[in-house]
Amino acid sequence: MFTRISNSWELLKASARVLRADKELLVFPLVSGVGLILISLTFFVPFLFSGLADSILPGSFEIFGFIVIFIFYIVQYAVIFLSNTALVGAALIRLRGGDPTLSDGFRIAVSRIIPILSYAVICSKVSSISTMRRVSAAFVTSARKLSLSFLAGSSSRSISGCLRKPRR
The yes-or-no verdict on residue 140 having pLDDT over 60 is no
Cα-based angle 158, 163, 168 (whole degrees, multiple of 5): 110
DSSP per-residue codes, 149-165:
HHHHHHHHHHHHHHHSP
| pLDDT (0 to 100) of residue 20 | 77
**Considering the chain, what percentage of its residues have pLDDT values greater than 90?**
24
The answer to whether residue 22 scores a pLDDT higher than 90 is no
Q: What pLDDT sits at residue 143?
A: 47
Q: Which amino acid is at 27?
A: V
User: pLDDT averaged over the chain?
Assistant: 76
Give the per-residue pLDDT at 157: 41
Q: Where are the domains of the chain?
A: 2-121
- Least Cα distance to 105 among 123, 82, 87 occurs for 87
Q: How confident is the model at residue 155 (pLDDT cuts 50, 70, 90)?
A: very low
What Å distances lie between residue 24 and 13, 15, 44, 90, CA to CA? 18, 13, 32, 9
Contact 52, 70 (CB under 8 A): no
Q: Of 86-95, 133-142, 153-162, where does mean pLDDT reach its minimum?
A: 153-162
- Over residues 3-12, the mean pLDDT reads 82
**How would you classify residue 22: left for phi > 0, otherwise alpha for psi between -120 and 50, otherwise beta?**
beta
pLDDT of residue 139: 52
> What are the tens digits of pLDDT across the range 111-127?
999 999 999 999 988 88
Counted residue by residue, the chain has a size of 168
Radius of gyration, alpha carbons of the chain? 27
Give the sign of the dihedral formed by CA 43, CA 48, CA 51, CA 53.
negative
List pLDDT tens digits, range 60-114: 556 777 787 888 889 999 999 999 999 989 888 888 888 888 899 999 999 999 9
pLDDT score of 52: 59
